[in-house]
Structure 1
Amino acid sequence: MDLTPIHPKVTPIYQTSVFKFNSLAELETYYTSPDHGGMYGYSRSEHPNSDELVAEVARLEGASGGGVATGAGLAGLLAAVLAVCQTGDHVLCPAELYGGSVVLLSNELSRLGIETSYVPLAQLYDVASHRRPNTKLVLAEVLSNPLLTVLDGPRLAQACQAEGILLLIDSSFTSPMLTQPLSWGADMVWHSATKYLAGHSDVTAGIVVARDPAIAKNLRRLATNLGLMLAPLESWLAVRGLKTLRLRMRQHSENAMTLARFLADNPAVSQVFYPGLESHPGHDLAAHQLLGGLYGGMLSIRLADDSAAAVDAFIQKTKLFPLAPSLAGVSSSCSYPAATSHRGLTEAQRAQLGITPGVLRLSVGIEEVADLLVDLEHALGQG
């Protein structure tokens, strides 16, 4: 069937594992041309849906180098680290880091001879004091998980540049609508596209984009050789999600701000972690650094009864914040960091990071905010 005259408004799903060649000459062009001669061969290496997704995220991030989409967020982190590090190299991170990232770096990549060390974020800016001769990469989050500590991105980027060390930023909590780390001087931006980029809790994906085309080329090579490439259907769904990203981030942020103010005045809550609140220690930095006057849809609370029992009581009573291990869907959810993202840490380690038994993370969706308020009031024992 000749589909040449067909011009769909939406890119079709190229649900195929391979593409056909018409001749040995075409096959040779595919393997010898830098861009494969505009052709596709094997979806493990590239396909139109993944290319569209990466191109759009790269455009939003200002990443001239391009990047890669992977089958999960952590696969994106794996690709990013291996694109610039090898056996004997060292990665420097803040102690306030997503637990899944810590497990990948410290448990898995350590077996390949890549070392990782952690220092409190407040000390990380002094890169010169914490670097080693073999330090190749610094990884940091825009907003830490789960207590929403705000990163001074430009300051960290300047410190890394002064030491000749690459900087990778995890922007999963903010998306390009709130932060564009390459404009700070970062070298790569990593997203768990499972979160805000796809946005509907129906895709598992990762995306890494880079400033330098050479790094982007390494990312693509690794995705091909390690089988990390995101499949066509998931790529298509993520592209669909991106089309409403700006609208969703605005509503996520507006709802979260309203809920944060409500929770800050609620006697069942002893502390609210949300950078949009003037009481948050990183508020001024967030106001200066985040885009559009928005602070995102993620917030955490410490219950006045700082216990797992109090958290469980909340979970049993809420209707609109179901317990789920991920975040950033259009529907709200909650997560218990002590038993999910940071369960691999000891109780003492969690306490040192401020993750006490009564800490609960809320992913605020785009529902009617009045409904969310009623549900929270009930779940906290006042409705």
Structure 2
Amino acid sequence: MDITNIHPKVTPIYQTSVFKFASLAELEEYYTTPDRGGRFGYSRSENPNTTELVAEVARLEGAASGGVATGSGLGGLLAAVLATCKAGDHVLCPEELYGGSVVLLSHEMTRLGIETSYVPLAELYDLERWIKPNTRLVLAEVLSNPLLTVLDGPRLASACQAHGIKLLIDSSFTTPMLSKPLSWGADMVWHSATKYLGGHSDVMAGVVVAATPSLGRRLHAVGTNIGTTLAPMEAWLTVRGLKTLRLRMRQHSENALAVAQFLAKHPAVAQVYYPGLTSHGGHELAREQLLNGWFGGMLSFRLQDDSAEAADRFIQRTRLFPFAPSLAGVASSVSYPLGTSHRGVPDERRQALGITPGLLRLSVGVEEVEELLEDLGQALVN
């Protein structure tokens, strides 16, 4: 069958581990031409689907070019750290950081000789106090997980540039629809594409893109060399998710604001953490910094009865917020940070961060908001 005249509107899934060469000259051209001359050889290095995903995320982020797609979000963090650090180097992070990132950095990277330290976000901007001669990388989240602390991205980027330190921003909660960290001066943007980029709770993926072509090539090389490259099917699913990203983020944000306003008035709720509320300490910064007037689909709240028993009652009563350890699908869900995202974080640090037994995190989906509010109301009744 002659397939040369087939022109699909959607890129097919290239479910192949290898690609064919016609001659030794063609093979040599593949290895010696910049960007492989548009050719593909081995899917661990490049595949049309993963290449398309990285290129599209780079376009959305305003990246120069290049990066890597990995088999999970944490695979992206691993690639970013290894692309910029070696044994003996130091990474600096805010204390308000996703628990999975803390476990990877503090439990695994230390075994490779890469040290990580944590300071309160409010103090992180004064880098002079915290950096060491071997500090090579600063990692921060646009909105922290799970308490939605708002990062002053341009301020942190300026401080990192002044000291010649690379800045990696985790934009998983915000996506390019709400935040473009490279425009602040960040060096890399990292997404757990399992979350909003994919958006349908059916893919595991990570993507990191860079501000400069050289760093983008380094990310790609690390992903290839350590074997974290994303598979074609997962890349295809994530690209499909990107096609509706703007529509979804608008609806996630509208629904989450309505849910936050509802919870803030409910007598069973002690505190709501959502930057779209004027009562949130970072509201003005978020309003100034986030794009499109959107504040995202993630929020957390603390019950008046700050106990695991009260949290469990809510989890068992809700019908439209199934209990799940991840987030950002089109369907809403509830998570329990103490037992999931921050399970591996030492108890004293969790307490200091305010991650208590009565804290719940909601990923607000795109359902009819009236149905979500009705369900929350019945689930919160004592």
Give me the TM-score of the superposition, normalised by structure 1: 0.99
For 1:182, the equivalent position in structure 2 comes to: 182
| Structure 1: tracts of 5 or more residues without a match | none
In the alignment, the residues of structure 2 paired with residue 181 and residue 214 of structure 1 have an alpha-carbon distance, to the nearest angstrom, of 18
Match of 2:149, SS state, is coil
For 1:161, the equivalent position in structure 2 comes to: 161
Aligned pair 1:146/2:146, yes or no? yes
Contact 2:92 2:118 in 1 (8 A): yes
For 2:339, the equivalent position in structure 1 comes to: 339
In angstroms, what is the RMSD of aligned CA positions?
A: 0.7
In the alignment, the residues of structure 2 paired with residue 220 and residue 350 of structure 1 have an alpha-carbon distance, to the nearest angstrom, of 35
For 2:86, the equivalent position in structure 1 comes to: 86
In the alignment, the residues of structure 1 paired with residue 24 and residue 162 of structure 2 have an alpha-carbon distance, to the nearest angstrom, of 50
User: Which amino acid letter does the alignment assign opposite residue 283 of structure 1?
Assistant: H
Alignment of 1:287-306 (within 5 A): 287-306=287-306
Alignment of 1:1-383 (within 5 A): 1-381=1-381
CA deviation map 1:190-247 (0-9, x unaligned): 0000000000000000000001111111111111111111110000000000000000
User: Which amino acid letter does the alignment assign opposite residue 126 of structure 1?
Assistant: D
Please state how far the C-alpha of 1:336 moved relative to its aligned partner: 0.3
User: Which amino acid letter does the alignment assign opposite residue 212 of structure 1?
Assistant: T
Structure 1 range deviating more: 99-108 or 346-355? 346-355
User: Which amino acid letter does the alignment assign opposite residue 46 of structure 1?
Assistant: E
In the alignment, the residues of structure 1 paired with residue 127 and residue 347 of structure 2 have an alpha-carbon distance, to the nearest angstrom, of 28
Please state how far the C-alpha of 1:32 moved relative to its aligned partner: 1.4
In the alignment, the residues of structure 1 paired with residue 345 and residue 23 of structure 2 have an alpha-carbon distance, to the nearest angstrom, of 57
Please state how far the C-alpha of 1:142 moved relative to its aligned partner: 0.3
User: Which amino acid letter does the alignment assign opposite residue 330 of structure 1?
Assistant: V
In the alignment, the residues of structure 2 paired with residue 143 and residue 300 of structure 1 have an alpha-carbon distance, to the nearest angstrom, of 12
Contact 2:103 2:345 in 1 (8 A): no
In the alignment, the residues of structure 2 paired with residue 349 and residue 76 of structure 1 have an alpha-carbon distance, to the nearest angstrom, of 25
In the alignment, the residues of structure 2 paired with residue 275 and residue 250 of structure 1 have an alpha-carbon distance, to the nearest angstrom, of 15
In the alignment, the residues of structure 2 paired with residue 235 and residue 344 of structure 1 have an alpha-carbon distance, to the nearest angstrom, of 29
CA deviation map 1:257-300 (0-9, x unaligned): 00000000000000000000000000000000000000000000
Match of 2:175, SS state, is coil
In the alignment, the residues of structure 1 paired with residue 56 and residue 180 of structure 2 have an alpha-carbon distance, to the nearest angstrom, of 14
User: Which amino acid letter does the alignment assign opposite residue 200 of structure 1?
Assistant: H
Please state how far the C-alpha of 1:2 moved relative to its aligned partner: 2.7
Please state how far the C-alpha of 1:381 moved relative to its aligned partner: 1.1
Contact 1:333 1:362 in 2 (8 A): yes
Structure 1 ranges of 4+ moved more than 4 A: none
Please state how far the C-alpha of 1:353 moved relative to its aligned partner: 0.4
Match of 2:28, SS state, is helix
Match of 1:254, SS state, is helix
In the alignment, the residues of structure 2 paired with residue 346 and residue 234 of structure 1 have an alpha-carbon distance, to the nearest angstrom, of 33
Match of 2:237, SS state, is helix
In the alignment, the residues of structure 2 paired with residue 180 and residue 276 of structure 1 have an alpha-carbon distance, to the nearest angstrom, of 18
In the alignment, the residues of structure 2 paired with residue 255 and residue 94 of structure 1 have an alpha-carbon distance, to the nearest angstrom, of 29
Give me the TM-score of the superposition, normalised by structure 2: 0.99
Contact 2:66 2:220 in 1 (8 A): no
User: Which amino acid letter does the alignment assign opposite residue 154 of structure 1?
Assistant: P
Contact 2:68 2:229 in 1 (8 A): yes
Contact 2:100 2:344 in 1 (8 A): no
In the alignment, the residues of structure 2 paired with residue 36 and residue 170 of structure 1 have an alpha-carbon distance, to the nearest angstrom, of 29
Please state how far the C-alpha of 1:362 moved relative to its aligned partner: 0.2
Contact 2:83 2:222 in 1 (8 A): yes
Contact 1:303 1:358 in 2 (8 A): yes
Contact 2:192 2:206 in 1 (8 A): yes
Match of 1:344, SS state, is coil
In the alignment, the residues of structure 1 paired with residue 35 and residue 160 of structure 2 have an alpha-carbon distance, to the nearest angstrom, of 32
Please state how far the C-alpha of 1:33 moved relative to its aligned partner: 1.3
Please state how far the C-alpha of 1:37 moved relative to its aligned partner: 1.8
Identical amino acids, percent of aligned pairs: 74
Please state how far the C-alpha of 1:65 moved relative to its aligned partner: 2.9
User: Which amino acid letter does the alignment assign opposite residue 115 of structure 2?
Assistant: E
